């Protein structure tokens, strides 16, 4: 891992530690894993106007915690706020995280 990539990874970890919420992810095969998710619930202020009616939340999760691409219908549960969402569509990925709409 390059110095730049290592520094970026530490930065991403700090962001998740600061604003992320504890959650667990349930895969299609029924297995589950703990993770930290950054949910964006107010999509209108995020500039996602066209998706407001189609998705309740835009989730970001680190690939170090969910290494496989999230699949439609898999579940993310945020116990702290008693929320449960089903993955709808992955809209972004890079070497550090996945971003997906969930309903």
> How confident is the prediction for the chain on average, in pLDDT?
89
Q: Is pLDDT above 80 for 46?
A: no
For residue 24, what are its two tokens? 């667990």
State what percent of residues in the chain have pLDDT above 70: 87
CATH topology of domain 3-102: Thrombin, subunit H (2.40.10)
* Long-range Cβ contact pairs of 11-19 (< 8 A, separation 24 or more): 12/62, 12/96, 12/97, 13/62, 16/62
Q: Is pLDDT above 70 for 43?
A: no
Q: Span 67-81, mean pLDDT? A: 96
Tell me, what's the pLDDT at 54? 54
Q: Is pLDDT above 60 for 49?
A: no
Tell me, what's the pLDDT at 41? 84
- Which residues have C-beta within 8 Å of that of residue 77, sequence separation ≥ 6? 23, 24, 25, 26, 83, 84, 85
pLDDT band for position 79 (50/70/90)? very high
3-class DSSP state of 77? strand
Q: Is pLDDT above 90 for 47?
A: no
């Amino acid at each position: 891992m390059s110095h730049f990539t290592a520094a970026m990874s530490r930065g991403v970890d700090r962001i998740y530690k600061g604003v992320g919420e504890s959650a667990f992810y349930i895969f299609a095969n029924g297995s589950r894993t703990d993770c930290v998710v950054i949910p964006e619930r107010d999509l209108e202020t995020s500039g996602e106007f066209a998706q407001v009616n189609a998705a309740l939340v835009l989730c970001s999760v680190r690939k170090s915690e969910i290494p496989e691409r999230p699949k439609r219908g898999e579940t993310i549960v945020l116990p702290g706020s008693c929320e449960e969402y089903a993955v709808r569509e992955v809209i972004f990925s890079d070497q550090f995280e996945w971003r997906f709409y969930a309903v």
